[in-house]
Structure 1
Amino acid sequence: MQKKTKDIFIIGFALFAMFFGAGNLIFPPALGQKAGTDLIGAIFGFLLTGVGLPLMGIMAVSKFGGNLELLASKANKKFATILSIVVILSLGPLLAIPRTSATTYEMAIVPFFPNMNSLLFSAIYFSIVLFFVLKSSSIIDSIGKVLTPVLLITLLSIIAKGIFSPQGAIANTGLGVSFASGFGEGYQTMDALGATVIGSIIVASIKAKGYTESKEVSKITVQAGIVAAAGLAIVYGGLAYLGATAGNLSMDLSRPELIITITAGLLGTFGKILLGISVGMACLTTSIGLTATAGEYFSNLSKGRVSFQTVSIITALISMVISNAGVDKITSLAVPLLVVVYPIIIVLVVLALLDRFIKNNIVYTGTVLVTLVISLFEALGNFNVSIPMINNTLKSLPLASQGFGWVVPALVVGLSIHLYVTVNQRQSKGRLIKRLALIKTIIK
C-alpha cells in the first residue's frame, strides 16, 4: 500500500473513532426498533444528518485549514472568537468530554463492578486519556492504528451475530414518517459540531506526515472524511438492523437498556463484555480527540503562554470533576447551549461549501445573525422564558415543530442578500463601463 493511501486510511479510521462516541452507539438500535419494516427510510434519514453533516463539516473546515475561527470570521471576527470558545468548551471540559467518562462508567463499568467508585474510575479514565494526548505527535496514529481496530472488531462482531442469527422478525411498527424520524435522530448526534473543531488536529496530523501544500492537505482531509463516513454508515446501518429485529423487546426500554439487552440476547455475558469494550473504546477515542483539540485551541489563544500540555491537563481535571454528575445531568445541561450553537455551525458549514459563489461576506453576517436570533429565543424556551408575541411567531415558522424553525429564515435571508449584492455589483460594473466609454469618447 502506498504511503499516501495508508495515511488516508489511518487518519480516516481515527476520524471514525473520534466521531463514534457512545451516543452514536445507542441511537441507531432505538431508531431501528421504532422503524421496523420502515427501516430503509429511517436509516437514510439518519445517515443524511448523522454522517452527511459531519462529512460536510470536515470538507468545510478543510478549506480554512481546519480552523473554525477562521471560517466564522467570514461573518465577524469577534463573533468568531466567541463562537470558537463556546464550541470548544461545549465539546471539551464542560459537556462532551465529561459525558464520555460518565457514559463509560454507567454502561461499561457498573454492570460488572457495581461497587466501583465513580471518582476513582474517572481518575483512571482521564489518566488514560492524558497518556495518549500528551504524546501529541502521535495522537492520530495511536487512535487510527491501535484504538479504532479494537472498536471496529467489537462492533462488527456484535452486528455480524445479529445479522446471521437475528433475535426476531422485523415487524410493522406503523411509524410512517420514518425518514423524518431518522433525520431527527441523526441530528441529535451533534457530530457536525465536532467536525468543525476536530479538523484542526486532523490537519496538523496531515502536515506532520509531510504534506504541506494547502490543496493537498485539504484533499487528504476530505478523503479521510469519506473513509470515516463509510465506516459510520456501515456501523449505523448494522446497529439499526439489530434494533429492527428486536421488535419483541419492550418499546419502553431506554436507549442504553435496549442495546445492552440486544447484545446480551445475542451473545450472553460475552456480549455484555464486548459491548463494554465498545462503549469504552468509543468514549475514549472521542475524549482523546476532544481533549487534544481543547489543548491546542486554548494554547494558541494564549499565544503559547500556556502550553498544550498544561491546557490538556486542566481540561482533563475539570472533565473528571464534572463527569461525576452523571450522564442525565450533563445531557440536560447541554440542550439549551446546543440549541443555539448547532444551527449556527450548520449554517457556516453550508456557506463555506458554497463560498466560491458568495460575492460578499455580508451574506455570512446576515445569515448567521438571523439564525442566532431565532436560536437564542428557542433556547430561552428551554428555560421557560415566555415572550408571547415572539414565541407565537417562532411557532408559525416552517419546520418549527421539528426544531428547525431557523432553516427557512436563514435560507430566505441568505439568498436575498446574495441576490441584492449580485445585482448591485452588476449595476455598479455597468455604470463603470459607461463612464469609461464616455471618457474614451471625450479623449478622442
Structure 2
Amino acid sequence: MKKNIDILIIGFALFSMFFGAGNLIFPPYIGMTSGTGWLTSFLGFVIADIGIILLSINAVARAGSYQNVAGKAGKKFGLSLEFIMMLCLGPILVVPRTAATTFEMSIAPLFGSFNPIVFSIIFFAITFTLTVRPTKVMDIIGKFLTPILLIALVFLIGKGVISPIGDLKSLSHSDGLFATGLTQGYQTMDALGIGGVAALIMSSFFNKGYVDKKENASLTLKASLVAGCGLILVYGGLTYLGATVSTIYDQSISQTALLINITHSLLGSTGTLLLGIVVAFACLTTAIGLTSVTAKYFEDVSNKKIKYEHIVTLICIFSAVVSNLGVDKIISIAVPILTVLYPVSIVLVLMSYFKNILTKNSTFKGAAYATLIVSILTVLDTLGLNLNFVHSLPFAELGFNWVLPAIIGGILGTFLFKDKVETIDKKVS
C-alpha cells in the first residue's frame, strides 16, 4: 500500500514538473485547428511529447544515470551536453520563463499595475522556500500543489465537456493532422534535461527506502507512467475544448488568446481567475521541480563542494533577474539553443534501447556528431544564413531532419572512429 502511495505522489509531482504553461496552450490550439479530426492530431502530439518523455526516463532509469547514456558518444561530449542542458533547464531559460509566464498570464490580467520586479522576487522567494529542502521537493509538489492544479483543470475541462461552447468543425480534408500533432508535441521539448529529472525521481524513491537499484528503476518507470496518464487525460480534455470552438475562431488567433477566450466563454470573469490559478500553479510546480533538479545536478558535479542550498539560492536570484526580460525575449533566446541540443539527446536515448546491437561507442559518437552538425546548420538557416538544403532532408517538415544524418553518421562512425566494445553502461542489478 505504501509503495503504491509513493508511486502516486511522485507520479503527481512528475506530472506537474512537465505540465508548464506552454503545455497548457498547445493542446487547445491543436484541437481548434483540427475540428472533428482532433483525435488524430492529439495522437501525434501524445507520441512526440509523452512518448519521448517515457522513453527517456525509462532509458536513464535502466542505465543508472544520464551519463551512462550520453557518455557513449564520448565522456567529454556527454558531460558537456548535459552541463549545457542543465544550465538551460535552470537559471538561464526554463525556470525564469515560468515566472515571466505567470506574470503575463496570471498577474497582469488581474492586477494590471503590479510591479513585475516585485512579483519576480515574490515568485522566487516561494520557489526557494519550497525547494531548499531537497528530500521534501517531490512530496511538496505531489501531495499539496499538484492536487490544486488538477482540481482547477478538471473543473475547467469538465465544464467544457458538459456544456460545449460550440460545434466541432468538419474538415474538407484531414491530411496532415497526425503530422501537425507530431510536430507540436516534439516542439514542446519536454524531455530536455531528462537526466536530472530521472535522477531526482530515483533519489526520491531512494530516500523513501527503495535502495535496490532494480526496484528503484521499476518504481521510477511506474511513477512516470502515472505522470504520463495524467498528461494524456489533461491534454485530451484541453484538445477537445479547442475542437469545440473550431467553428468560432480561425488559425489567426494566438494560442494564448484562444485559451483566454475559451475560459472566459465557459466561466465568464470566474474563468479569468481560474486560468490565473492554473497557470500560476503549473508554473510554480515546474519552477520548484526544475530548480531542485538543476541544483542537485550541480551539487553532484562539484562533488558536493558547492552545497545544494547555495545553488538553489543562486538559481533563484539569477532567474528572478532574467524573468524580467519577458516571455517573448526568453523564448527567442531559448529556441536556437534547444533546437541544437534536443535532437542529440533524443538520438542517444533511442540508440540506448539497441545497446545489444549497437555495441560500439563509435556508433553513438558518429550519430551524435552528425545530429549536432545538422541541428546547428538548421539553426543557422533560421538566423538567415540560407542553408536551404536542411529543409530538403527527409522528415524536415516534421522537425526531424536529423534522422537520416544520424543513421548515416552512426554507420560511418562505426568504421571511422577507433573504439572498444561499449563499456560505459552500468546495468542496474
TM over 0.5: yes
The list of structure 1 runs, each at least 4 consecutive aligned residues, that deviate by more than 3 angstroms after superposition, is 412-421
Aligned pair 1:409/2:405, yes or no? yes
Equivalent position of 2:361 in the other structure: 361
Residue 415 of structure 1: how far off its partner (Å): 5.6
Spell out, residue by residue over 1:40-99, the C-alpha distance to the aligned partner (whole angstroms, 9 max, x if none): 11010000012111111111111233x323321111111111111110011111110011
Deviations 1:95-119 (A, max 9, x none): 1001100000000111110000000
Partner of 1:431: none
Q: Is the 8 A contact 2:298 2:311 kept in 1?
A: yes
Q: Percent identity, aligned pairs only? A: 43
The TM-score with structure 2 as length reference comes to 0.93
Change (3 A) 1:111 1:250: farther
- C-alpha distance in structure 2 between counterparts of 1:380 and 1:184, whole Å: 20
Alignment of 1:308-347 (within 5 A): 308-347=308-347
Question: What whole-Å deviation, never above 9, does each CA across 1:153-194 have from its counterpart, x for those lacking one?
Answer: 100110000000000110024453100000011111111114
CA–CA separation in structure 2 for the residues paired with 1:353 and 1:146: 36
Determine the structure 2 residue equivalent to 1:54.
53
Distance 2:20 2:355 in 1: 30
Residue aligned with 2:245, SS: coil
Instruction: State which of 109, 123, 127 in structure 1 corresponds to 2:107.
Output: 109
Correspondence 1:295-306 to 2 at 5 A: 295-306=295-306
| 1:272 pairs with 2:272 | yes
Structure 2 counterpart of 1:38: 37
Question: Please, which moves more after superposition, 412-421 or 13-22?
Answer: 412-421
> In structure 2, the residue corresponding to 1:98 is in which secondary structure?
helix
SS at match of 1:191: coil
SS of residue matched to 2:91? coil
Do structure 1's residue 218 and structure 2's residue 217 form an aligned pair?
A: yes
> Counterpart amino acid of 1:220?
L
Is the Cα contact below 8 Å between 1:95 and 1:334 reproduced in 2? yes
Give aligned pairs, total. 417
Distance 2:416 2:314 in 1: 48
CA RMSD across the alignment = 1.8
> Taking structure 1 as reference, are residues 321 and 173 closer, same or farther at Cα in structure 2, changes over 3 Å only?
farther
> Is residue 2:282 matched to residue 1:286?
no
CA drift of 1:402 comes to: 3.2
For residue 60 of structure 1, what is the amino acid of its counterpart? Answer: A
Deviates more, 1:218-227 or 1:192-201: 192-201
Deviations 1:333-376 (A, max 9, x none): 11110111010011011012222332222221111111111111
In the alignment, the residues of structure 1 paired with residue 55 and residue 240 of structure 2 have an alpha-carbon distance, to the nearest angstrom, of 25
Per the alignment, residue 97 of structure 1 pairs with 95
Please say if 1:394 is aligned against 2:390: yes
Structure 1 partner of 2:424: none
Q: Distance between the aligned counterparts of 1:167 and 1:176, measured in 2?
A: 26
CA drift at 1:399: 1.6
Q: Are 1:27 and 1:185, in contact at CA under 8 Å, matched by a contact in 2?
A: yes
Alignment of 1:123-138 (within 5 A): 123-138=121-136
Alignment match, 2:119:
121
Q: Counterpart of 2:313 in 1: which secondary structure? A: helix
| Residue in 1 that maps onto 2:426 | none
Q: Which amino acid aligns with 2:210?
A: Y
In the alignment, is residue 75 of structure 1 matched against residue 68 of structure 2? no
Alignment of 1:130-279 (within 5 A): 130-174=128-172, 176-247=175-246, 248-279=248-279
Q: CA deviation at 1:385?
A: 2.9
Larger Rg: 1
Partners of 2:388 and 2:278 in 1: CA distance: 45
Alpha-carbon distance in structure 1 between the residues aligned to 2:121 and 2:18: 23
Amino acid across the alignment from 2:123 = Y
Are the equivalent residues in 2 in contact too, given 1:55–1:195 (CA < 8 A)?
no
Contact 2:182–2:398 (Cα < 8 Å) also in 1: no
Bigger drift between 406-415 and 130-139 goes to 406-415
Aligned letter for 1:130? F
Per the TM alignment, residue 217 of structure 1 is displaced from its structure 2 partner at its CA by 0.8
Alpha-carbon distance between aligned partners in 2 of 1:94 and 1:64, rounded to the nearest angstrom: 28
Corresponding position of 2:371 = 371
In structure 2, list runs of 5 or more residues that go unmatched. Answer: 422-429
Report deviation, 1:400. 2.1
Q: Tell me what 1:87 maps to.
A: 85
Q: Does the CA-based 8 Å contact 1:358-1:418 persist in structure 2?
A: no
Superposed displacement of residue 197, structure 1: 2.4
Q: TM-score, normalised by structure 1?
A: 0.90
Post-superposition CA distance 1:97-142 (Å, at most 9, x none): 0110000000011111000000000100001101111121110011
